[in-house]
């Protein structure tokens, strides 16, 4: 499910305030700066540090 572009424009990582990218295939929002991954539930990004998981460095 695509996320509204206007919503994408205002979303930032609550941990570091970096930009987040939507990984549609995996239904995740990934912070480009700190790598935290936020779940997307019913098309709504859950931008909460408590809900985030740390991505593995690649
Ligand atoms: Zn971040």
How far away, in angstroms, is 13 Cα from ligand 1 center? 5
From the list 27, 8, 34, the residue with the least C-alpha distance to 49 is 34
Q: Tell the CATH topology of 5-54.
A: N-terminal domain of TfIIb (2.20.25)
- What integer pLDDT is reported at residue 55 of this predicted model? 78
Q: How far is ligand 1, taken at its centre, from the CA of residue 3, in Å?
A: 19
pLDDT tens digits along 9-57: 899 999 999 999 999 999 999 999 999 999 999 989 999 999 999 976 5
Instruction: Give domain limits for the chain.
Output: 5-54
Cα 42 to averaged position of ligand 1 atoms, centre (Å): 22
Residue written as token pair 């990582």:
13
- The pLDDT score that the predictor gives to residue 37 is 97
Burial 21-36 (b: 16+ CB within 10 A, else e): ebeeeeebbbbeeebb
Tokens 């990218």 -> residue = 21
How far is ligand 1, taken at its centre, from the CA of residue 15, in Å? 5
pLDDT value of residue 8? 85
Q: Where are the beta strands (DSSP E) in the chain?
A: 20-23, 28-31, 36-41, 44-45, 53-54
The larger pLDDT score, comparing residue 40 to residue 2, is at: 40
Q: Can you give the pTM of this predicted structure?
A: 0.84
């Amino acid at each position: 499910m695509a996320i509204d572009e206007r919503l994408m424009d205002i979303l930032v990582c609550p941990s570091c305030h970096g930009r987040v990218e939507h990984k549609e295939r995996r239904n995740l929002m990934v912070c480009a700066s700190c790598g935290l991954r936020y779940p997307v539930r019913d098309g709504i990004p859950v931008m909460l540090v408590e809900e985030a998981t740390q991505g593995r460095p690649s």
